[in-house]
Amino acid sequence: MAFVTQNQIQKFRKDGFLVLEQFFTAEECDSMRNQIQRIVAEMEVPPHCRTEFSTKEEEQLQAQGSSDYFLTSGDKIRFFFEKGVLDERGNFLISKEKSISKIGHALHAYDPVFKQITHSSKVQELGRKLGLERPVIVQSMYIFKQPGIGGEVTPHQDATFLHTEPLGRILGFWIALEDATLENGCLWFIPGSHTSGITRRMVRAGSGTSACVEFVGSEPAYDNSQFIPLPISKGGLILIHGEVVHKSELNSSESSRHAFTFHVMEAKDTSWSKENWLQPTPELPFPSLYT
């Protein structure tokens, strides 16, 4: 692993993201990919739980909002699917291995391979270099970005979904388990866009509404020309500030773009919003990053 320099940390503070190539070894990436293959092979999806994952606002409200499955996935390992892979009865139109969009949101807590990666000494050391005093892990996801159908992720800020007071306490660790390229849907960022707060929040809806979550505020129209792509090789890590604007395009290539990502919160002097969809539970309080 490359030693992280003060210059790089300054760059992160300025841009809102930082690319660290070859942070993890090919072996570490393969161990995660092999483990996820085992998890998918054993996956049993109850038909009533077959929610499709979408980032378009209405679909998000309809599919995820009406779905307890999503809202209660913070302390479990659960499965979310690409659009168009299930028929009306919830049967797969293509193989389940090819239809899955992501697995979340507690791999870091319940799976030995992902737990080891999340708490690896190099991640802990990076946390200390960044000055994190009491970092806790709030969620993790394995993202597949399937060939040909891996959906776009529209421009967003992670703090829209993971709100804290004050802001600036959420940090994403995004690990490329395969090369992420322009063709297969690498991440794009607007440098410096993490400095003006957030304009939209996803909150738990009040009782008596059909949806479980709703959006407050609106997403501004972003200027597409401001986004820069961050292709990264297998094993690379992208650090993502909770308020930096980022997106990824549809994967129209023939290769997948697997990634493992987790979010950390600096818990010192921070309050986690009671309105966030994700809440710590008695079974899984947010675990400390430092072991």
Helix (H) or strand (E) holding 7, with range, is: helix 6-15
Q: Does 284 reside within a domain?
A: no
Domains held by the chain: number: 1
**Residue 211: alpha-carbon gap to chain centroid:** 22
Query: Residue 198 is part of which domain span?
Result: 6-272
Q: Does 202 reside within a domain?
A: yes
Confidence of residue 80 (pLDDT cuts 50, 70, 90): confident
Encoding tokens for residue 190?
Answer: 């607007």
Q: Does 281 reside within a domain?
A: no
pTM, 2 dp? 0.92
Q: Does 163 reside within a domain?
A: yes
Q: Does 92 reside within a domain?
A: yes
- Whether residue 277 contacts residue 71, with contact meaning beta carbons closer than 8 Å, is answered with yes
| pLDDT digit string, tens, across residues 119-167 | 999 999 999 999 999 999 999 999 999 999 889 999 999 999 999 999 9
Q: Does 161 reside within a domain?
A: yes
**Residue 74 in 3-state DSSP?**
coil
Cβ contacts of residue 44 below 8 Å, gap of 6+?
A: none
Q: Does 290 reside within a domain?
A: no
pLDDT at residue 60, rounded to an integer: 58
Q: Does 164 reside within a domain?
A: yes
- What's 82's domain CATH number? 2.60.120.620
